[in-house]
Amino acid sequence: MEIDTLEAIQAGGTTQWIRIRGADASNPVLLLIQQGPGLPMINEARRFGHLLGLEQAFTVVYWDQRGCGRSLRGRQDRAGISVERMAADTVLLLEFLRDRFGAKTYVAGFSFGGTVGAVAAARRPDLVATLVAVGMDIDGAAAGTAAYDFALAAARQRGSRRATRQLQAIGPPPHLTSRQFAARQPGALTGLFGRGCLPDRPRYQRDTGRAAARARGHGPGPHPAPPGGARRHGAGPP
């Protein structure tokens, strides 16, 4: 890599961290905005580079937003997390990247990250070359209700009493407590929707990883592990 740096920036009264990686400094800049809030990106840099090879065509910016990963250092870093605040942080980061590299930034946001990226781009289109939103949240309440209804209907259709009980215990949205996001016996829900689909790995990562494994002539095992055993949740950079 010609560029591989770990840097701190100031945004909205907090210190936030980015990792910049690229094979050629003249390539356009691509900012990845992870789904969340609360999911770090910096520790995914090597895995994303291995699976997607984005650093060959772009100078890729991995960002741990406020409240997660390296950007979580104190109680104050969790304060004020909202769409408004995260979009403002994104604008500040885009300004930093424009000043650093002298050009507009390409932005790819995943799930809620797509929403944040879209809000930031609408506010400051002069900073964004292209926005790619993957699985962007349009109506969170409707999506949550549809997902719950689908899961409960699938459990009943397949005759899984255990999964049905778990889902009924969680209850329909809105889910406002951490307990509602966790099943006491996750084995039933895992079995219902397919073992080996790790819930903390987005589908596009799983599918890309499996395709890469097939291309190398090695079929994925039942529980594919991320390349290099990538660490999560605030550990130091890989």
**Across 156-176, average pLDDT:** 90
How many Å apart are CA 103 and CA 219, to the nearest integer?
Answer: 41
List pLDDT tens digits, range 26-63.
Answer: 999 999 998 876 678 898 888 888 888 999 999 999 99
The Cα 107–Cα 224 span in angstroms is: 28
Q: From CA 173, how far away is CA 144, in angstroms rounded?
A: 6
- Whether the CB-CB separation of 12 and 92 falls below 8 Å is answered with yes
> How many percent of the chain have pLDDT more than 70?
71
Backbone torsions φ then ψ of 98, nearest 5 degrees: -65, -45
Between β-strands 105-110 and 59-64, what pairing exists: parallel, antiparallel or unpaired?
A: unpaired
Start-to-end C-alpha separation, the chain? 14
- Compute the distance between CA of residue 204 and CA of residue 224 in angstroms, rounded to an integer: 14
Which residues, including other chains, have CB under 8 Å from residue 197's CB and lie 6 or more apart? 190, 203, 206
- Residue 227 pLDDT grade (very low, low, confident, very high; cuts 50, 70, 90): very low
Residue matched to tokens 């307990």: 179
Query: What predicted TM-score, i.e. pTM, was given to this entire model?
Result: 0.66
- Domain segments of the chain: what residues? 3-134, 140-193
For the chain, what percentages of helix, strand and coil (3-state, to nearest 5) are there? 45, 20, 35
Q: Which CATH architecture has domain 3-134?
A: 3-Layer(aba) Sandwich (3.40)
Is 28 in contact with 9 (CB distance < 8 Å)?
no
Q: Which amino acid is at 22?
A: G
Q: Above 90 in pLDDT, residue 125? A: yes
Residue 187 has pLDDT above 90, yes or no: no
